[in-house]
Amino acid sequence: MNAAQWKKVSGLLGLGLRARTVVVGVEQVRAAVARRVVALAVVADDATENSRTKVLPLLRARRVQVVGGVTASDLGAAVGRETTTVVAVVDEALARGIRGALAPTGP
């Protein structure tokens, strides 16, 4: 994810946080996945193996799109924390917006 894409995605995540349509943290994301409400997840590239083991198999099993290319400190800053390893989007419209922000643009 390049800087321009991250700026758009982080803005959308912040908007989603204020609208309560994103879930922050490993345990909260696991609970949301169990409820089958997650449309998209952003996982930090530098997440610990323990965090990845707790979250990624559940996300794959539910066929949730996982986005990477961001650090835990950048992801945390987008949602008002020092660091966080995973954020899940529960609103499909917001997830579409994030997917659109990540789509390749022109040549």
The pTM for the full model equals: 0.91
93/98 Cα distance (integer angstroms): 9
Specify the pLDDT at position 103.
Answer: 84
Helix %, strand %, coil % of the chain (to 5): 50, 15, 35
Transcribe 43-63 into DSSP letters: E-TT--HHHHHHHHHHHHHTT
First-to-final CA distance of the chain = 16
Contact of 22 with 30, CB cutoff 8 Å: no
- Whole-number average pLDDT of the chain: 92
Q: Tens digit of pLDDT for each residue in 12-32?
A: 999 999 999 999 999 999 999
Structure tokens belonging to residue 61 = 């099993």
pLDDT, averaged in runs of 10, over the chain (107 residues): 90 94 95 94 95 94 94 94 95 94 73
Specify the pLDDT at position 64.
Answer: 94
Strands (E), 1-75: 22-24, 40-43, 65-67
